[in-house]
Structure 1
Amino acid sequence: MTEAAPGRAPRRWRRALVAVGVAAVLGVLPVALSAGRVAWLSSGRTYGVQQAPERAVGMVLGAKADPSGPSAFLAARLDVAARLYEAGRIRAILVTGDGGAESNDEPMVMRTYLERRGVPADRIVEDPAGFDTYDSCVRARDVYGVSEMTVITQDYHLGRAIAICREVGIDAVGVGDTTMLGRFPYNWVKGWLREFPANLKMEWDLLTRRQPQPGAPDPSLLAAAES
């Protein structure tokens, strides 16, 4: 049996380590670049409720809903929207999410919750085809005619939502909920980590100009904001 030449095995290990290092860099670099772009696009555009600029429309992004009501995370978003409305920072609210039966009709659950919080029914408009953040932002522009608005979601999600809005032509600012960090830190960290791959999906959606579910122009949201 021929013995391996001295030094050959260490060289193979070095090549393997270099390959692993290159693969790691190539994998991390797009994530880091996209996260940086989200931070840049959303910089200076997040506010507290009392500091938020006045906008005609606030958009609440959907999350898990149960037949009995919104999940804790979704309820926290809706509480922020209700406070913005009460403070006169927004005049109408677009509730956007999955309106299918399997998702328990998120927008309807959101509407019901806001009405119980005292927001008038005629100031709330439902988008049942906001299946993800990109869909919600594009449909706000194309279906509901929005050119500027306040986005409302959890704080860790806010940067990506603002970035998408700006990239599709909506002048967006945002107000984020932070209360869930103290109540559900594990779920909060999971959501924060999820943003990194979600940023890459955002880049692909923007690059390909993916079209969400189409809909006829609906003037009800802007009419509600002007009433």
Structure 2
Amino acid sequence: MFNKRINKWVKSFMTYMAVFIITLIILIVSIIFKVRSYGDKYILDLNDLPKNNDAIIVLGAGVRSDGTPSDILADRLETSIEAYNSGLGSTFILSGDHGREDYNEVGAMKKYILKNDIDEKIIFMDHAGFSTYDTMYRAKEIFKVDKAIIVTNEYHLPRALYIARKLGIDAYGIKSDKRQYQLMDSYKKRELLAQIKDFVYVNILKPEPKF
């Protein structure tokens, strides 16, 4: 009798766990699909993007040990310059990681931009761009951006646009992919987790950035 009760309890527990896991998987897949499908609508080619935006927001990436932008970051910057020269925005917001004295993404980004005869006065720097959510929050609340072009890689753009628009920025995106990049597979895997996290952030938790 006792063994029958144990077996019944185990079966019930396993059934509940199976239902929970299936429900969780469906929820995760639904969130990822929602973020991607929402953001994809606002990714356009250079010639199709709306002009006269408040800012061109460039999202940071790795910097080499000599202080120069990595390939992935250099291509984001090149794309942002193309966008600026096409009249898509009047200022740059360069957002990246400057959490240590010996590592400065935004400094490297600014140096790169200035080599292209662009006025330093229109370059604004977000030194605490540790996450895409933080960057978009400060773009809206600190830099007072209402309309923007976001420049980053294709895998990253849907989430960046989803966050920006949910925070009240009329944002469109342009892909910066100009070549093959190392570690792209790992970036894409991490992006799945980031999409879930930021969906929760913009729809439920709505935290303020630390900086």
TM range (shorter): 0.7 to 0.9
For each residue in 1:137-184, what CA deviation from the matched residue of structure 2 results, as whole angstroms up to 9, or x when unmatched? 00001111111101111111000000001111111110112224xx22
Residue equivalent to 2:195: 199
> Is 1:138 aligned to 2:137, yes or no?
yes
Residue equivalent to 2:173: 174
Contact 1:151 1:175 in 2 (8 A): yes
Q: Select 1:62's aligned residue among 60, 63, 70.
A: 60
Q: How many equivalent pairs are there? A: 205
Q: Using a 3 Å threshold, how does the CA distance of structure 1 residues 41 and 122 change in structure 2: closer, same or farther?
A: same
Residue equivalent to 2:97: 98
Structure 1 segments, 4+ long, off by >6 Å, are 11-17
For each residue in 1:24-45, what CA deviation from the matched residue of structure 2 results, as whole angstroms up to 9, or x when unmatched? 4234223212112213432421
Distance 2:45 2:11 in 1: 52
Gaps of 5+ in 2: none
Residue equivalent to 2:154: 155
Q: Please give the secondary structure, in 1, of the residue aligned with 2:48.
A: coil
Residue equivalent to 2:115: 116
Q: Kindly indicate which of the two structures has a greater share of residues assigned to strand.
A: 1
Residue equivalent to 1:83: 82
For each residue in 1:64-108, what CA deviation from the matched residue of structure 2 results, as whole angstroms up to 9, or x when unmatched? 123431111111111110111112222211001122225611111
Distance 1:43 1:199 in 2: 13
Amino acid at match of 2:121: D
Greater Rg, structure 1 or structure 2? 1
Contact 1:162 1:173 in 2 (8 A): yes
Contact 2:35 2:199 in 1 (8 A): no
Q: Using a 3 Å threshold, how does the CA distance of structure 1 residues 57 and 20 change in structure 2: closer, same or farther?
A: same
Contact 2:54 2:90 in 1 (8 A): yes
Superposition TM-score, scaled by structure 1 size: 0.80
Residue equivalent to 1:219: none
> Equivalent pairs: percent with the same residue?
25
Residue equivalent to 1:224: none
Distance 1:12 1:80 in 2: 60
Name the Cα RMSD after superposition.
2.5
Distance 1:14 1:71 in 2: 54
Distance 1:37 1:126 in 2: 31
Q: Please give the secondary structure, in 1, of the residue aligned with 2:145.
A: coil
For each residue in 1:163-211, what CA deviation from the matched residue of structure 2 results, as whole angstroms up to 9, or x when unmatched? 001111111110112224xx22x62222222221101110232211110
Q: Please give the secondary structure, in 2, of the residue aligned with 1:69.
A: coil
Residue equivalent to 2:19: 22
Q: Using a 3 Å threshold, how does the CA distance of structure 1 residues 202 and 103 change in structure 2: closer, same or farther?
A: farther
Contact 1:31 1:197 in 2 (8 A): no
